[in-house]
Amino acid sequence: MKQMVREAQGSITGALEELCSVQFVEDRWSHAEGGGGLSRILQDGATLEKAGVNVASVWGTLPPEAEQVMLHKEGLGTGPHQFAAVGLSIVIHPRNPHAPIVHANYRYFELDDGRWWFGGGADLTPIYVYSEDAELFHRVHRDCCDRHDKTYYPRFKAWCDGYFDIKHRGERRGVGGIFFDDLRTDDPESAFAFVSDCAASFLPAYIPILARRRDQEYGERELRWQGIRRSRYVEFNLMYDRGTRFGLRTGGRVESILMSMPPTARWEYGHQPQADGPEARTLDLLREPRDWVTKD
């Protein structure tokens, strides 16, 4: 898993550097109890206003409050537990409001009692929803799931729709993708192969979208809406995201955990988009999940 996430980090940052003519900076860090990670970060680029592609491999004692975040059906039993975790985390905030935010995370956990599981997924958060972008993103991930188990995509797509639900707003964070946790099989290698394939699917699912949206024209209206939609991203991450809560409760590195936040956001009191405008149409599409791809 450590080798896979390092190789994925290299291929993803390399592709983004080539497309956007930029260079990520590296920030190597250590975990207090054991292990550490390597963050590759970009800020204030012409195409990517902020981007992070991070890997981590850490171990230590799992605090009781972190155990509460891990909602495993059988429970964690008497603690404290020793844990090891390896992960890849990707968040990209493009500058152009027509280019969607994207997030992906793939991780492996192991406890000292021999239990192990994989988790992760990828989801797309458009400022303005373009159906062709949502369809591409979902098709790539559906095809990836189908290569391993035909039940995965419908299960993990529905899980993603349910997970990225901003309940207090009555809307989803974006158009979804796939999401799963507690993934264990009789064959650990088959589970690892699936997670590896998911990580490899990030570039074909997102790079074509970024390439066709990065130079689209925009003005102050689009930037204002981008700020408002980014604020929803912040609200979800701070209030509901399990990864953010787990990282902060296990003494994780704050800069790496909160690298998912956009560089700017807006909160306008009582904001309502123009009834017949593209902002209102986007909001309508985010209120209920949609089936973006069907069987070919």
| Continuous segment of H or E residues that includes residue 296 | none
Q: What is the CA radius of gyration of the chain?
A: 19
Does the reported pTM lie above 0.75? yes
Cα dihedral 246, 249, 255, 261 sign: positive
CA distance 55 to 39: 6
Residues in Cβ contact with 265 at an 8 Å cutoff, skipping those fewer than 6 apart: 227, 228, 230, 231, 233, 234
Q: How many CA atoms lie within 13 A of 197 on its CB side?
A: 18
CA distance 89 to 228: 24
Closest CA to 203 of 57, 58, 50, 88: 88
Tell the residue number behind the tokens 């021999």, with chain if given: 114
DSSP string, 146-192: HTT-TTHHHHHHHHHHHHTEETTTTEESSSEEEEEEEE--S-HHHHH
Exposed / middle / buried, residue 218 (Cβ in 10 Å: 0-12, 13-18, 19+): middle
Give φ, ψ of 176 to 5 degrees: 80, -155
Q: Determine the pLDDT at residue 47.
A: 97
Residues in Cβ contact with 186 at an 8 Å cutoff, skipping those fewer than 6 apart: none
Q: Determine the pLDDT at residue 295.
A: 63
Q: Splitting the chain (296 residues) into consecutive groups of 10 residues, what average pLDDT does each group show?
A: 98 97 94 91 96 94 69 60 93 98 96 91 98 98 98 98 96 97 92 98 98 98 98 94 78 82 95 94 96 80
Q: Three-state DSSP class for 201?
A: coil
Q: Which domains does the chain have, with CATH numbers?
A: 2-287 (3.40.1500.10)
Tell the residue number behind the tokens 């639900």, with chain if given: 165
Contact 147, 259 (CB under 8 A): no
Q: Which residues are tagged catalytic?
A: 103
CA distance 212 to 81: 47
Tell the residue number behind the tokens 């902002």, with chain if given: 279
Q: Determine the pLDDT at residue 62.
A: 79
DSSP string, 72-115: -TT---SS-EEEEEEEEEEEEEESSTTSPEEEEEEEEEEETTS-
- DSSP letter assigned to residue 53: E
